[in-house]
Amino acid sequence: MAGACSWPPVKKWKITGEKAVPYYNIRYNNGEKFYDGNPILSALADGRLLRIIQEEPESQRIFLRASLEKRPEDEIDELVIILELSQEAKPLLEELIRKWLVEKEEKEAMGRFIRERLRNVTAQPEA
């Protein structure tokens, strides 16, 4: 298993230099958190959406997947990152976030970056 990691709460992250707005609801109506890892973080910044989904740590290597999607109900482009939290995955995660939300990489260029940068990263087999 890759080295475990804990990161600061979302409220302390300033991804773009401004406070990102959480997008997805992560609580039941009674206020209790879902705790299912989907998402562990979501942010809407400048019309771009980020969703990070945490998987149970099981891999011996870095596990990180990323894809670009478009939410059909509101036409927002979304970067979805699925990972097992680890110190080894953290630099890749930060790089993806920076490219998408800070540098505002165009969708086609971001897709190429994901394919090239994550080529050798462990990925979960398709079901």
Is the distance from CB of 43 to CB of 82 less than 8 angstroms? no
Mean pLDDT (whole number) for 83-90: 88
- Can you give the pLDDT at residue 11? 44
- Can you give the pLDDT at residue 108? 95
DSSP state string for 84-108: ---TTTHHHHHHHHIIIIIS---HH
- Can you give the pLDDT at residue 85? 86
Mean pLDDT (whole number) for 103-118: 94
pLDDT in tens, 27-69: 778 888 777 777 888 888 888 999 999 988 887 788 899 999 9
Q: Among 85, 3, 73, which residue's Cα sits nearest to residue 41?
A: 85
- Can you give the pLDDT at residue 49? 93
Percent of the chain having pLDDT more than 90? Answer: 33
The rounded mean pLDDT for the chain is 80
Cβ burial, residue 97 (10 Å; 0-12/13-18/19+):
buried
pTM greater than 0.85 (yes/no): no
pLDDT in tens, 6-15: 444 444 455 5
Percent of the chain having pLDDT more than 70? Answer: 80
